[in-house]
Structure 1
């Protein structure tokens, strides 16, 4: 399909614009509110919600279906049917999202319809069982530990002798492992459990509602970030708010990354608007929710240093920025930890080792280790752990070198520092074990406010679909179900191509050409 290149309003560079074709109405048509596309996504979201009652992260003792007449959808053929229906719902949501993307590229809609669409698609998922994850049950279990006087950084939820429904629904892998989350988030989880108690359905719903504060922060900050970073607002909202990564993973999951991203985006905006002390405070608070937000802090120091009067050398300006930054960080870190845990407990730092128990090829170094192990094991009977351990150590070294390089390249501050910061956050998600699909939102949300080209947007569609589907709806990984992964890759490529051209394989057109009987 031929393309032309035109400037996009409010963008700092150019993006590819689709040529006018019968399938792709011409640029400049009167803007229309995409009611049918939004409705398509709502139907998909409702189907996701209903199917998740049998195929999602359902409770061990399900009070909704229980042993009633519909309990059959949780087992055997009924569960297979519910799973198939869930994937249909997912397909409808993605279809609606891609259609919105084509409207954005044709400049037929602004950002408001995209936000309305995303919120409408999120609505049914607020009351659904967890989708493609069971992490929320761990959140509640660790909050229950803190509520009942157990240190979540020393014990797993299995140590609790109260709230049996909370404990039994935590994934077996996390029953005896310490919490990897920041103390401020555990305080939030403690507050949720203090209200919802042993009611897991209420706990999941309240968790989702509270995490929407992070979404509200993103909705407030992203339009302002676009003005600083040169992006195009409809594209940014389509990427960061309406994407399946946000709608299905961060909200449908749900994941506490959403709350961290709210503080991160507002903090980055504050730094660009020369409110540097506030920026350090906000990003440190984000770190006390999800520790990886700390990666952004050294980059914000460069932004501060370059906003100082240039009558001094850069090293001297850096010192003038880093000293107050360290002071603010230390004060917020100590106060936040003390308020959350009742003491200056640093056990949560060692708790970061717990997720490294997850080993799969989605993490690039782990995948390389598994490939080498497989090749060697053909000749010699060996264990996989040494290969994975060595590959991960090399991955850590590469990650450290890459992040340090990005930090040094950010020394001139401005938008370049924010771009390098986003690259660093993405590299942590890819190279530091483990790599979980929603981790890539850390850097991606910031990158969404930069200019994008059409081919890159198509790649985002494919990657987003892949990163949702590589886990089963129950929260278990599907990464070693090779036939399933082949189907996922094919579907993701088709989704990516669909942004560039509706019906890329001509399936709908062929169906329309079939003879019809009278």
Structure 2
């Protein structure tokens, strides 16, 4: 396919960015324990510079692509899908970046294969090399994931026989399959919701957060969102039961997708079905799918209780921040209520999320896809823990459902900031901040100089 010159430029800049990400990750990523370098070593510092050089290049290419999408002759969805594949390609063989969660997935998969209760025990019960790769906070924590994802992780563990490189590659392929489902669903959802399919793909699939965290980080949120997206597409058509089944499977990867069942029922009502019939059909399909998937996975229903996982000390969720401040104040005053501050704020966050979701659906009940996107955004924002990739829960469907350019711009601004908020190793080593800023600054200098060279008149040209 022949691309226009400007689109090719975006493609090349983004490709250079993702290539720098992959190369920098070789020394500064979330590497296996045996390959970890001292953070202050020259190779590790250069790796951080390279990663953030790549992040800024990739983000700049994405923003430039957004200008094309808003222009008079926007690229077709097919062209954007090819750009997405080009940008993602260098990350396929890169080490994990920005998080060590993929090691937890592999350890939990090995526990499933070994018939250990992943909900009652953490990877420490498994022991061995895989457990050593898991971040210390999560070694003694039960899995918060549903049986569908654990069945996939268990099958991957059996296939790779516990070999770490093969397991990491396999988990990235699983994440890529989720991203592919997201990209396939977005144009169809956008057309139904009256949004521009190209703009939906730009914001919901080519987003830097997708490439940095769902592809490079291999997070299982990609599978959740992919199944959720194709489930909603099925519900838009003539297959509401299939839609309920797929959305339930998404919820059995990660629980927030369960909100999608409300959208499936609402879409049936919009199609002319009675409200009672829509609710019963959706509930029966969801219950049957849950029972069948749990029986096949053989993991039981312990995931319901395991959802209350501990909050990372590096977590910056709003309710957790307020809880820490309140606890510090109460401790300063000598109050015995200090230990209750965090649980109280977390409970208030849950209440606030429920109220927000109710108000969203009351106002947008005739736009269920958009209401679902805003609801998932509320869950991410008001929950007890937040990570940059959690923003994609809402962004994915907001991209598909909003025809408003201003909403799209604000959403893009938030995701652009979040793309720069995590260090490549997934930890909180403040010593990496200086090389990270240096890498980003170098990328900005290169971009500015390239722009000036493009605007300069050709030698010998007239005034």
Q: Partners in 2 of 1:384 and 1:473 — Cα distance?
A: 34
Shift of 1:117: 1.7
Counterparts of 1:178-189 in structure 2 under 5 Å?
Answer: 178-189=142-153
Q: CA deviation at 1:279?
A: 1.0
1:484 Cα deviation after fit: 5.2
Matched, 1:173 2:137: yes
- Superposed CA RMSD: 3.1
Give the distance between the partners of 1:75 and 1:142, measured in 2 at CA.
32
Q: 1:171 to 1:406 in 2, by over 3 A?
A: same
Q: Between 455-464 and 145-154, report the one with greater CA deviation.
A: 455-464
1:77 aligns with 2:42: yes
Change (3 A) 1:401 1:381: closer
TM-score (norm 1): 0.79
- The CA distance in 1 between the partners of 2:165 and 2:348, in whole Å, is 42
Whole-angstrom CA distance in 1 between matches of 2:82 and 2:106: 30
**Contact 1:370–1:384 (CA under 8 A) maintained in structure 2:** no
Q: Secondary structure at the match of 1:390?
A: helix
State the SS of the aligned residue for 1:357: coil
Q: Equivalent of 1:430, from 363, 377, 381?
A: 381
203, 223, 233: which one aligns with 2:167: 203
Task: Indicate which of 190, 194, 216 corresponds to 2:154.
Answer: 190
Q: Secondary structure at the match of 2:34?
A: coil
Match of 1:334 among 281, 291, 299: 291
Partner of 1:440: 391
2:370 and 2:402 in contact (8 A); partners too: no
449-458 vs 165-174, which moves further: 449-458
1:516 corresponds to: none
Output one character per residue of 1:296-322: Cα deviation in whole Å (capped at 9) or x when no partner: 11232222233235xxxxxxx322221
SS of 1:325's equivalent in the other structure is helix
State the distance in 1 between where 2:454 and 2:88 align.
32
- Whole-Å Cα distance in 2 between the matches of residues 119 and 403 of structure 1? 35
| Counterpart Cα distance in 2 of 1:176 and 1:338 | 25
d(CA) in 2 for partners of 1:512, 1:331? 62
2:61 matches 1:104? no
Matched, 1:388 2:342: yes
1:249 paired residue number: 213
Match of 1:397 among 345, 351, 361: 351
1:312 corresponding residue in structure 2: none
- The structural deviation recorded for 1:428 is 0.8
Q: Does 2:272 match 1:318?
A: no
Cα 1:31/1:454, change in 2 over 3 Å:
farther
| C-alpha distance 455-228 of structure 1, shift in aligned 2 (>3 A) | closer
**Shift of residue 512, structure 1, vs aligned partner:** 9.2
**Pairs within 5 Å for 1:453-492:** 453-477=404-428
1:151 aligns with 2:117: yes
Query: Are the equivalent residues in 2 in contact too, given 1:33–1:113 (CA < 8 A)?
Result: no
* Unpaired stretches in structure 1, ≥5 consecutive residues: 1-29, 63-70, 310-316, 496-501, 514-518
More helix by share: 2
Q: 1:262 matched to which residue of 2?
A: 226
Per-residue CA distance 1:189-231 (angstroms, 9 max, x = gap): 1111112223212111111112222222222221111111111
Higher Rg of the two aligned structures: 1
1:352 match: 307
Q: Which has the higher contact order (CA 8 A, sep 6+)?
A: 2
Aligned-pair CA distance for 1:507 = 11
Q: 1:40 aligns with which of 4, 13, 17?
A: 13
- In 2: Cα distance, 1:90 partner to 1:138 partner: 25
* Residue in structure 2 matched with residue 53 of structure 1 by the alignment: 26
Question: Which residue of 2 is the match for residue 125 of structure 1?
Answer: 91
Q: Secondary structure at the match of 1:449?
A: helix
Distance 1:132 1:198, change over 3 A: same
Shift of 1:423: 1.2
2:241: which partner in 1?
277
Q: Does 1:368 align with 2:322?
A: yes
Q: Tell me by how many angstroms 1:122 deviates.
A: 0.8
Moved more, 42-51 or 130-139: 42-51
Q: Hey, what's the Cα distance between the residues in 2 that align with 1:32 and 1:253?
A: 31
| 1:136 equivalent in alignment to 2:102 | yes
Q: Verify the 8 A CA contact 1:360 1:366 in the aligned structure 2.
A: no
Against the structure 1 CA distance between its residues 95 and 321, is the aligned structure 2 distance closer, same or farther, given a 3 Å change threshold?
Answer: same
* Kept after mapping to 2: 8 A contact 1:281/1:332: yes
1:377: Cα distance to partner? Answer: 5.6
1:337 aligned counterpart, secondary structure? helix
